[in-house]
Amino acid sequence: MARRLRVEYEGAIYHVTIRGVERRRIFDDDADRERFLKRLGEAVEEYGVRLYLYCLMSNHVHLLLETPQANLSAFMQKLQTAYTVYYNLRHRRAGHLTQGRFAARPVDGDSYLLKLSRYIHLNPVCVGGVAGRPVNERVKRLGEYRWSSYRGYAGLGQQPGFVCEGPVLSHVAGAENDRRRAYRRFVEAGLAQKDDELLEVLKGGGWGVGEKDFQDRIRDIHADMAGKRKRIEDVSYRRAGRLYEPKVILKAVAGSFGVEAGSLRQRSYNCVARGVVAYLLGKHAGMNQRDIGAWLGMGTGAAVSAQLKRLRVLEERDTELVSRIAGLSAEIAGGGEHAVRGKARRQEC
């Protein structure tokens, strides 16, 4: 079954969750948490996101944020890729760190923003062995927990500069100086009495966190986006039937990497561009690995398979390479006659 299309629009507010693959840890120590927050702050600034709050747990993360530029997917891709590359290098591992794609539910900022902020901030004292402790112990632990935005909201610590508190605190009654104390009392009250209404909304499928009229609006936006996507896919499908000459693909890759086209058909063991050519020949020329190996002078199909495997490992560490390959693929599918945008990066082969 196809995944539901991600709903993105200007000014959308989301409850985002990132979970470790197979529920494994994504933070081994405080150094990992500090690096994640550093990457989070950088991504917030780069993509113009308004981050309302965050909470880091051992194997998952909660974010509550707004996207004025309707760029949630791009923002999250940058954040997750940057952190995964760091984590894999530091802990000498490879492969995916997080479970599938991140979850993101649109939120009605008028009705549910404050309640949802409490739910997220209470995570550290509502899971595991801590959940069964007396309320006063949980209140103490909540105030001491360093890896969420709660301490800043409650006036118990310094808030990172990339957190935008205004929208949440505007829903708290009281004078400006009293709002942090009022917010702290509001959150602590959630330890004694659960918000069953919010929990019911969060457990349900639906189109977001909000009342029926809000969910209907999100559903309509989704239908409009799905219609546009279908038209784009129809055009792409018609183009997909066309196979391109290997020389066209070779020329495009050579231009992008700043090398001679002929050099890409000569044996070389550390040439990234040859791996890119091999990948694109399979995708756009309809060639199998045995034919690719013969055409590029790699020898057997097994050699091509090994080259493609090395390319996938490099992509996990190099987001620029991922973008370069995507751009080449789009350029070839669009005709393959024009130079790929972006400065050519010289590579010896």
CB 314 within 8 A of CB 272: yes
- Mean pLDDT for all residues in the chain: 84
Q: Is 124:191 a contact under the CB 8 Å cutoff? A: no
DSSP 79-127: HHHHHHHHHHHHTT--S--BSSSPEEEEB-TTTTHHHHHHHHHTGGGSS
CA distances for 121 relative to 53, 104, 116, 191, 301, angstroms: 8, 17, 9, 11, 53
Tokens 């050579």 locate to 254
pLDDT band at 265 (very low <50, low <70, confident <90, very high): confident
Mean of pLDDT values over 248-277: 86
In this predicted model, what pLDDT tens digit does every residue of 289-341 receive, in sequence order? Answer: 888 888 888 877 778 888 888 888 888 778 788 888 988 888 887 764 433 33
Sign of the CA dihedral running 266, 271, 275, 280 = negative
Does residue 224 carry a pLDDT above 60?
A: yes
Residues 6+ apart with CB under 8 A from 152: 158, 159, 160, 163, 165
Of 331 and 225, the structure prediction assigns the larger pLDDT to 331
Between residues 65 and 215, the one the model is more confident about? 65
DSSP-assigned beta bridge partners for residue 15: 64, 105
DSSP 69: T
pLDDT band at 230 (very low <50, low <70, confident <90, very high): low
Q: What per-residue confidence (pLDDT) applies to 347?
A: 46
> Are 238 and 14 in contact, with CB atoms under 8 Å apart?
no
pLDDT in tens, 149-207: 999 999 999 999 999 999 999 999 877 678 999 999 999 999 888 776 777 767 766 77
Q: What gap in Å lies between CA 229 and CA 232, rounded to an integer? A: 5
- Least confident range from 11-20, 133-142, 229-238, 326-335: namely 229-238
What is the Rg, in whole angstroms, of the alpha carbon atoms belonging to the chain? 25
pLDDT of residue 39: 96
- DSSP string computed for 290-303: HHHHHHHT--SHHH
In tens, the pLDDT along 273-290 reads 998 998 999 888 888 888
Which tens digits make up the pLDDT trace of 81-118? 999 999 999 999 988 999 878 999 999 887 789 999 99
- pTM comes to 0.65
**Closest by CA position to 20, among listed 129, 88, 124, 100:** 100
pLDDT given at position 303: 82
* Cα-to-chain-centroid distance, residue 285: 31
Please give the domain boundaries of the chain with CATH numbers for all domains.
12-225 (3.30.70.1290), 246-333 (1.10.1750.10)
Q: Where are the alpha helices (DSSP H) in 103-211?
A: 113-121, 135-144, 150-153, 166-169, 179-192, 196-203
pLDDT at 330: 83
Residue % of the chain over a pLDDT of 70: 87
**pLDDT band for position 2 (cuts 50, 70, 90):** low
- What distance lies between CA 326 and its chain's CA centroid? 17
Question: Phi and psi dihedrals of 152, rounded to 5?
Answer: -65, -45
Tallying the residues shown for the chain, one arrives at 349
